[in-house]
């Protein structure tokens, strides 16, 4: 009996005590390059409801019940889940910097490793997006007591994130956005503008007339046009619209009833190519993107006419940028 006890004590000393002196944390870093604009990749990570489409520790437990999604996008967004095996987890986004960084933490039950801190960073490299995932595991006392078992538990999570990056790459590259929807911070800009109401069927000619009025006023004021013409939609129905024709300027030097500044804001931008009466699918795609990502949008939106009937005769080549402002 004494011999057995001595052997047990010796095993504890040999297998467990040295582990108490292990480093108190492990850090790993993994990188993948994805052939897609940075924003399309970023939104797959910034929206926590998307994680179940590419993150293996959620994918493999799709007996999973997603109990709580208080907010699905941005700082503070979180996702809670429970499985049939009574394992549960919480994902929380602690910091979200648009198109640059997402810091998060994961809490698990039913695993030796029960908390992981992580960070995704995003970098545009030529036409690709470089995504880097950093993981940090603090070693609680239990982790160090179990030594090699705790190490392999964290290695499993490391492998899951390696798979996750490849899944993310596959997801994004196979679902390229034909409407080129981007979300980013648009800088403030200044305009000469005039608001008008008209029938929906007469938007084109009313805009043309109003742009000419604005150009005349700008010439009188000694101000040059500094960009492409803009149309801001304030109210819209099948029969009538309230719109604002605007021409960008470099800066406001002499404020007047025609001058205004469009404040810097986070925007959704889609690019449409074709005749104006065929653009509805682009608006539908913007609406779907906003709804899917739980984004609240201003009632008004605006268009920038990159090409228009004044400089390109073929309607199939008219390029229009459509902007939604996010509240």
> What confidence tens digit (pLDDT) does each residue in 119-167 have?
999 999 988 999 999 988 765 555 544 544 455 555 666 787 888 899 8
| Domain final residue pick, 109, 142, 174 | 174
Q: Are residues 141 and 30 in the same domain?
A: yes
What pLDDT does 16 receive? 47
Q: Are residues 90 and 189 in the same domain?
A: no
Q: Are residues 320 and 218 in the same domain?
A: yes
Q: Are residues 257 and 319 in the same domain?
A: yes
84-98, 175-189, 302-316, range with greatest mean pLDDT: 302-316
Q: Are residues 140 and 215 in the same domain?
A: no
The total domain count for the chain is: 2
Asked whether residue 16 is domain-assigned, the answer is no
Q: Are residues 166 and 187 in the same domain?
A: no
Q: Are residues 32 and 159 in the same domain?
A: yes
> What confidence tens digit (pLDDT) does each residue in 135-147 have?
887 655 555 445 4
What pLDDT does 149 receive? 47
What pLDDT does 182 receive? 83
Q: Take residue 121 and report the two structure tokens written for it.
A: 């960073």
Asked whether residue 12 is domain-assigned, the answer is no
> What confidence tens digit (pLDDT) does each residue in 245-301 have?
999 998 888 899 999 999 999 999 998 888 888 899 999 999 998 998 888 999 999
Asked whether residue 155 is domain-assigned, the answer is yes
Asked whether residue 10 is domain-assigned, the answer is no
Mean pLDDT of all residues in 311-317: 86
Q: Are residues 204 and 284 in the same domain?
A: yes
More confident residue, 138 or 303: 303
In terms of C-beta density within 10 A (0-12 exposed, 13-18 middle, 19 or more buried), how is residue 327 classed? exposed
Q: Are residues 216 and 316 in the same domain?
A: yes
Structure confidence at residue 60 as a pLDDT band (50, 70, 90): low
Is pLDDT at 86 greater than 80 in this prediction?
Answer: no
CATH number reported for the structural domain that contains residue 43 in this entry: 3.30.530.20
What pLDDT does 20 receive? 46
Distances (CA, A) of 164 to 9, 24, 45, 297: 42, 26, 11, 31
Asked whether residue 304 is domain-assigned, the answer is yes
What pLDDT does 311 receive? 82
* Contact assessment for residue 285 and residue 297, using Cβ atoms and an 8 Å cutoff: no
Asked whether residue 102 is domain-assigned, the answer is yes
Q: Take residue 143 and report the two structure tokens written for it.
A: 């982790």
């Amino acid at each position: 009996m004494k011999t057995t006890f001595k052997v047990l004590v010796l095993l504890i000393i040999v297998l467990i005590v040295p582990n108490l002196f292990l480093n108190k944390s492990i850090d790993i870093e993994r990188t993948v390059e994805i052939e897609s604009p940075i924003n399309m990749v970023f939104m797959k990570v910034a929206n926590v409801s998307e994680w179940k489409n590419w993150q293996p520790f959620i994918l493999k437990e799709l007996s999973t019940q997603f109990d709580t999604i208080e907010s699905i996008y941005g700082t503070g967004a979180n996702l809670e889940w429970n499985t049939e095996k009574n394992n549960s987890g919480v994902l929380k986004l602690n910091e979200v910097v648009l198109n640059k960084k997402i810091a998060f933490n994961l809490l698990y039950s039913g695993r030796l490793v029960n908390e992981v801190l992580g960070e995704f960073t995003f970098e545009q490299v030529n036409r690709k997006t470089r995504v880097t995932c950093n993981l940090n595991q603090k070693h609680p006392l239990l982790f160090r007591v179990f030594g090699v078992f705790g190490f392999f538990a964290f290695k499993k999570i490391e492998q899951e994130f390696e798979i996750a990056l490849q899944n993310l790459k596959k997801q994004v590259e196979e679902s390229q956005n034909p409407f080129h929807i981007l979300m980013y911070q648009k800088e403030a800009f200044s305009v000469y503008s005039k608001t008008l109401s008209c029938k929906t069927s007469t938007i084109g000619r009313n805009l043309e007339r109003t742009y000419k009025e604005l150009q005349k006023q700008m010439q009188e004021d000694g101000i040059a046009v500094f960009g492409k013409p803009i149309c801001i939609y304030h109210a819209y129905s099948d029969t009538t619209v309230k719109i604002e024709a605007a021409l960008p300027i470099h800066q406001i030097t002499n404020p007047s009833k025609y001058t205004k500044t469009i404040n810097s804001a986070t925007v959704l931008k889609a690019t449409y190519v074709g005749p104006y009466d065929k653009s509805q699918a682009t608006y539908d795609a913007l609406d779907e993107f906003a709804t899917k990502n739980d984004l609240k949008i201003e009632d008004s939106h605006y268009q920038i006419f990159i090409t228009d009937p004044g400089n390109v005769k073929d309607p199939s080549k008219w390029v229009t940028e459509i902007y939604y402002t996010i509240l």
